[in-house]
C-alpha cells in the first residue's frame, strides 16, 4: 500500500453521479453504484462520496442510498452531505461508512466535530474547507450551502476544526474544481504547514504529476473528480483509476 492515498471524489445529486466546474453547472455523468463497482475492480484504496444537494436544501443524508453504496464498496468510504447531528453520524457508521465529512454544520457550530470525535474517534471525522480565490487572488472560505463567503478566514477555520477534533482536513480549491488545470499548490503548502493532521488536497488534478506535486507540497492524500471520470479534450465520460505501478512510480513511497 502506498503511503499517500489517491482518492476518487464522487459528487452526488438527486441520487445520480454528477461533475461540476467551480462548484457550478452539475453535469450528469452516470450511476454512482456502477462507478463504485468499477473502482472496486481498480482496487482503489479509499472512496469519497459528497452529496452537493443535501446541505444546500437542508436535507438529511439519503441513508438507503448510502447503505447501498457501503454494501458495494470494497474500500473505506467517506460520506459528506447533510450530516448535522451525532445521531446521523452514528447511523452512517452503522451502515458501513468509515468517515464522515462535514462543512456546513461545522461552520454553524463546531460541536458536531467534537461530539463525533469524542464518541467515534478523530479518525472518523473529516472537515471540508472550501476555498476560492477572489478577484485579486486572495483565498477566502466559501460556504458550500449558500455559495457565499464565510466571515472566518479559511485557515483559521481549518485550525479551529482540528482543535475541535477533526482527524483530517479536506482542502477543496473551488476555483480549480472540474477545470483539470492543475492544483493550487501554494494553498496546499500553506495549509500543510499550518495544520497538525493529515491534509487531503482536492481540485484541479489533471495528471499523475499533479498528484506528485500535491504530495510534495505537503498533502497526505490527494483526491480528484474530473481526472477519474473524464477522458480526452471533449470530456467523454470514462471511469478510470491509475494502475498501482504507475502510482508507485510517481509517488515513490510505500508504507513500512
Read off the pLDDT of residues 205-233 as tens digits, 9 standing for 90 and up.
999 999 999 999 999 999 999 999 998 88
- Beta strand residue intervals within the chain, DSSP E: 5-13, 16-21, 24-30, 47-51, 77-80, 99-102, 125-133, 139-141, 168-173, 199-202, 221-224, 230-231, 236-237
pLDDT band at 255 (very low <50, low <70, confident <90, very high): low
Q: Active-site residues: which are they? A: 130
Q: Do residues 62 and 33 lie in contact, with contact meaning Cβ atoms separated by under 8 Å? A: no
pLDDT band at 253 (very low <50, low <70, confident <90, very high): low
Read off the pLDDT of residues 86-141 as tens digits, 9 standing for 90 and up.
999 999 999 999 999 999 999 999 999 999 999 999 999 999 999 999 888 999 99
User: Which CATH number applies to 8-250: 1.10.260.30, 3.20.20.70, 3.40.50.1980, 3.30.1360.120?
Assistant: 3.20.20.70
The cell for 249 is: 512510480
For 151, list phi and psi in degrees, rounded to 5. -75, -30
Read off the pLDDT of residues 38-78 as tens digits, 9 standing for 90 and up.
999 999 989 999 999 998 899 999 999 999 999 999 999 99
Read off the pLDDT of residues 176-195 as tens digits, 9 standing for 90 and up.
999 999 999 999 999 999 99
Residue ranges per domain, the chain? Answer: 8-250
Provide the whole-model pTM: 0.95
Q: Is 149 helix (H, G, I), strand (E, B) or coil?
A: strand
Amino acid at each position: 500500500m502506498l503511503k499517500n492515498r489517491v482518492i476518487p471524489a464522487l459528487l452526488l445529486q438527486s441520487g445520480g453521479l454528477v461533475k461540476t466546474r467551480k462548484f457550478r453547472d452539475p453535469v450528469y455523468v452516470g450511476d454512482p453504484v456502477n462507478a463504485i463497482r468499477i473502482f472496486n475492480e481498480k482496487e482503489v484504496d479509499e472512496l469519497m462520496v459528497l452529496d452537493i444537494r443535501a446541505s444546500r436544501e437542508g436535507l438529511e443524508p439519503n441513508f438507503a442510498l448510502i447503505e447501498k453504496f457501503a454494501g458495494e464498496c470494497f474500500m473505506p468510504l467517506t460520506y459528506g452531505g447533510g450530516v448535522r447531528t451525532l445521531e446521523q453520524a452514528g447511523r452512517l457508521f452503522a451502515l458501513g461508512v468509515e468517515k464522515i465529512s462535514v462543512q456546513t454544520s461545522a461552520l454553524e457550530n463546531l460541536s458536531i466535530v467534537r461530539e463525533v470525535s469524542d464518541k467515534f474517534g478523530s479518525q472518523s471525522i473529516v472537515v471540508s474547507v472550501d476555498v476560492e480565490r477572489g478577484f485579486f487572488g486572495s483565498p477566502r472560505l466559501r460556504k458550500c450551502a449558500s455559495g457565499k463567503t464565510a466571515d472566518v478566514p479559511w485557515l483559521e477555520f481549518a485550525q479551529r476544526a482540528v482543535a475541535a477534533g477533526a482527524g483530517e482536513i479536506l482542502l477543496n480549491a473551488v476555483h480549480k474544481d472540474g477545470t483539470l488545470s492543475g492544483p493550487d499548490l501554494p494553498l496546499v503548502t500553506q495549509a500543510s504547514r499550518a495544520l497538525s493532521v493529515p491534509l487531503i488536497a482536492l481540485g484541479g488534478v489533471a495528471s499523475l504529476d499533479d498528484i506528485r506535486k500535491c504530495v510534495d507540497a505537503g498533502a497526505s492524500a490527494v483526491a480528484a473528480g474530473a481526472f477519474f471520470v473524464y477522458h480526452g479534450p471533449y470530456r467523454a465520460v470514462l471511469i478510470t483509476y491509475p494502475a498501482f505501478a504507475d502510482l508507485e512510480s510517481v509517488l515513490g513511497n510505500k508504507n513500512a
